[in-house]
Structure 1
Amino acid sequence: MNQLDGPATNQYVSLVTAAFFEAARRRFMKGEEVADDGKIIDFVTSVRLRVDDPEVLDPNVAETLINIALGKLPPEARKGISGEVSHGSKILLLAGLIGDAQLSADELDAFLATAREMADEVFS
């Protein structure tokens, strides 16, 4: 990210955040019903088991970010989590969410289009 200029960095972070929110909602929400904490904990554990160094993904940070995306926690719950840690965690979680979803090429294109629209509307 250090090689991007300010506006490009903001666009990239916005897109990652929007994609993370969209993927988390698809995984953990059915209509208005939100998954229980156990399912979120199990998912975070599964992602940590997939990375070379599980310590790069703090489970408390991961669970907090997912719960913010689901509306179970307010955005202020992110206080104390640095931007760098938040962004890195979202990327790892997003990779796990997308990998688990096993989207076709068309589904992935639609997902990315939705994330781009969300980033443009909400985070720009």
Structure 2
Amino acid sequence: MTITDEQIATLRAQLQGRGDEHKRLLSRLNKVESNQYASLVTAAFFEAIRRRFSTGGEVAGDKEIIDFVTTVRLRLDDPELLDPNVAETLIGMALGKLPPDARKDISAEVSHGSKILLLAGLISDAQLSTHELDAFLARAREMTDEVFS
């Protein structure tokens, strides 16, 4: 799988809070590109989770994860958009604290939407410079090309 510059630009717009631009770019992706974009979001989510919750081989405890999910939900206009159990499950899986089958009751649509909201929160908290965001997106692209090809 090869991630395109347009898919990167779509994710960049979302992570920078440029909602209208994100929607415009997302609407231009065909079905195959949309599926690839979902893989890019997953890779970016895993990378951001590891950066936030894993330090020197130590993984954050449940309280830190719960506190993060709570803060993300409180930032949303409608906190119900992010189910805390789903969010905590996805983070736990990304950290290797839960097995992959832990998401068996989570639909692909709910999983993707939750990852987007959590990823936006992670990037917002990280306060990345333009250069750091470029490096983060390059890493997510590399991971997507490696893992999902």
Using the size of structure 1 for normalisation, the TM-score is: 0.95
Runs of 5+ unmatched residues, structure 1: none
In the other structure, the counterpart of 1:77 is 102
Corresponding residue SS for 2:124 = helix
Q: Is the aligned partner of 1:101 residue 2:111?
A: no
In the other structure, the counterpart of 1:112 is 137
Q: Is the aligned partner of 1:122 residue 2:147?
A: yes
Q: Is the aligned partner of 1:65 residue 2:90?
A: yes
Between the aligned partners of 1:110 and 1:89, the Cα distance in structure 2 is 23
Percent identical residues = 77
CA shift at 1:6, angstroms?
2.9
In the other structure, the counterpart of 1:34 is 59
Give deviations 1:8-47, integer Å, cap 9, x for gaps. Answer: 1221000000000000000000021000000000000000
Give the total of aligned pairs: 124
In the other structure, the counterpart of 1:90 is 115
4+ runs deviating over 4 angstroms: none
Q: Which amino acid in 2 is paired with 1:114?
A: R
CA shift at 1:2, angstroms?
7.3
Question: Cα RMSD between the aligned structures?
Answer: 1.2
In the other structure, the counterpart of 2:68 is 43
Using the size of structure 2 for normalisation, the TM-score is: 0.80
CA shift at 1:7, angstroms?
1.6
Between the aligned partners of 2:119 and 2:148, the Cα distance in structure 1 is 17
Between the aligned partners of 1:109 and 1:9, the Cα distance in structure 2 is 21
